[in-house]
Chain A
């Protein structure tokens, strides 16, 4: 134990008794240590005398402020700010939730797939928009770069209740055209003479306009059901392209061999093999082009069910079954809304949870 290091603590009576006894003993034996202790004592005294003792001011003011009635929010700007921030987060969440509901009122179950599709959409867009390559005629984009670009085939089925099925179908066809696509098929049918007409249109729209087309269609009427699907065909396309490349090289070799054939037998043999290879090439090329076309043009099948006119009884359905269906639909919608709200709350928890915890913490602290 270093006695010198304990000297100051000894002077301040801050040493445990055993260590203090050791210092006392050392002091008795060492005059220089006693001198040092005395210097420290004097130094401490001089420091205390040198310290300022300013005349305090402002006590009454402080008492006045403490006695003043509390104005919680004015006195706690941090708490107020936290509250405002939490409110802002809540309002933005509700607005996002409402917007999402407006976009896809009946398609919450497809929301996950939709998000996944959106994540690949920019790549698919870049594929469809590659300069010099019209839709369906883009031979190279799949293998550009070290990794193949994503190719996703997107399809959707949407069923809507509309006032006029024929008009809605015509509008849908116009919509597809305006978005750079076309109607692959369309038609109107009735189950029976008394049934309301049902129009169906199969629309092909560029992949980049898929979401816009679906969004527009939803505004045509009340969405009864909606399903969307995305199929990643990147690997399939890469596989077909690779096999094509190999077969083309093989074709080239047979062409060379054909030129070098000396007998008719050799010529026939080589030509037969060449024909087989070319057939395979054509088949694979068709597959590749189909995949590219499917990825470039998404398919939306829209079904328009015409509403029954007011006062006109809907065929085959009584008022009780109508009420039952309406009640079930309402309940389902309510549960769906609650589920969607819970999901939004969970996903947005990194935003609102810290704010809420901060408010709770500050409220407890300043209470």
Chain B
């Protein structure tokens, strides 16, 4: 386990502050992509406060960042359950890229909107947050095979949606 996390577990506030500095950006973006920019600040703050309170129970079975994502994931899910559905615009850019794109960005976002919540979450966790299948499975509380299957079906669905709209390489 990271010595900094060990120190934070022992109640070292400075170590915890350092952990916030190291992970805040990733956690903030994780929240922003799920609940939107406006509530992301509060959600990120709540994630770290919850982490601070629950740190004693962290056993290092997953990386600290994945553990934080797990807390953020639960908070976001709880928040979305009691408010409006996820704002896809918060997760995706709709304006065209300056670099040459293979796919029309708007059509891609449209196809992503067509995914189920479970498939979209698997895509976000693996493709965007960069989690491995195992880490994503730990965070979602499902077997690794389920993450693999969700990603396979999500990509098949995206490809068929894009092909239906005439997007070919």
Closest to A62 in B: B45
Cβ 8 A contact of B123, one of A36, A47, A365, A367: A47
Task: Write out the residue numbers on chain A whose beta carbons fall within 8 Å of the beta carbon of B93.
Answer: 50-52
Contact of B24 among A51, A53, A56, A67 (CB under 8 A): A56
Interface residue? A131 (CB, 8 A): no
Complex Cα distance A45/B103, Å?
A: 10
- List the A side residues contacting B112 at CB < 8 Å: 47, 50
Contact digits for A33-51, partner B, Cβ 8 Å, 1 yes 0 no: 0001011101111111111
Query: What residue of chain A has the Cβ atom nearest to residue B97's Cβ?
Result: A49
Give the dominant DSSP class at B's interface: helix
- Please state if A8 and B152 are interface contacts (CB–CB under 8 Å): yes
- B139 on the A face (CB < 8 A): no
Taking the nearest CB of chain B, how far is it from the CB of A45, in angstroms? 8
Given contacts A54-B40, A56-B24, A66-B48, contact A46 B148 (CB under 8 A): no
Q: Name the distance in Å between B57's Cβ and chain A's nearest Cβ.
A: 8
Q: Which of B41, B52, B92, B108 contacts A52 (CB 8 A)?
A: B92
Chain A proximity of B138: nearest CB distance (Å): 14
Instruction: Give the B interface residue count (CB, 8 A).
Output: 53
Task: Name which residue of chain A comes closest to B103, CB basis.
Answer: A46
**In the complex the two chains form, what is the Cα distance from A200 to B152 in whole Å?**
92
Cross-chain contact B108 with A46 (CB below 8 angstroms): yes
For the complex, what is the distance from the CA of A50 to the CA of B169, rounded to whole Å?
18
Residue picked from A5, A54, A61, A365, most chain B C-beta under 10 Å: A54
Which residues from chain B contact A46 at a C-beta distance below 8 Å?
101-103, 105, 108
Interface pair B17/A63, CB less than 8 Å apart:
yes
Q: In the complex, what distance in Å separates the CA atom of A42 from the CA atom of B101?
A: 10
- B1 beta carbon closer than 8 Å to chain A: no
Contact of B16 among A9, A48, A57, A66 (CB under 8 A): A66
Proximity string of chain A (52-74) to chain B, C-beta cutoff 8 Å, 1 when within and 0 when not: 11101111011101110000000
Partner of B128, one of A36, A38, A40, A47: A47
Question: Is B155 on the interface with A (CB-CB < 8 A)?
Answer: yes
* Given contacts A56-B28, A62-B20, A8 and B127 within 8 Å (CB-CB): no
Among residues 63 to 120 in chain B, which have CB atoms less than 8 Å away from a CB atom of chain A?
A: 90-93, 97, 99, 101-103, 105, 108-109, 112
> Which of the residues A39, A57, A67 comes within 8 Å of B41, measured between beta carbons?
A57
Question: B25, B54, B148, B159: which contacts A365 (Cβ < 8 A)?
Answer: B54
**Residues on the A chain within 8 Å of B132, using CB:** 14
Chain A nearest CB, measured from B135 CB (Å): 11
Closest chain B CB from A171 CB (angstroms): 64
Q: Measured between alpha carbons, how far is A117 from B54 in the docked complex, in Å?
A: 52
CA distance A7 to B124 in the complex (A): 19
Cβ-defined contact, A54 with B29, below 8 A = yes
Contact of B21 with A by CB under 8 A = yes
Binding site for B on A (CB under 8 A): 5, 7-9, 12, 14, 36, 38-40, 42-54, 56-59, 61-63, 65-67, 365-367
Which B residues contact A (CB, under 8 angstroms)?
Answer: 13, 16-17, 20-21, 24-25, 28-29, 32-33, 37, 40-42, 44-45, 48-49, 52-54, 56-57, 90-93, 97, 99, 101-103, 105, 108-109, 112, 123-124, 126-128, 132-133, 148-149, 151-152, 155, 158-159, 162, 169
Q: Which 9 A-B pairs have the closest CB atoms?
A: A58-B41, A56-B28, A59-B24, A51-B128, A62-B45, A54-B32, A56-B25, A8-B152, A14-B133
**A–B Cβ pairs within 8 angstroms, 24 of them:** A5-B152, A8-B148, A8-B155, A12-B133, A12-B151, A36-B159, A42-B102, A43-B155, A44-B127, A47-B108, A50-B92, A51-B91, A52-B33, A52-B90, A53-B29, A58-B42, A58-B45, A59-B21, A62-B20, A63-B21, A66-B13, A66-B20, A66-B49, A66-B52
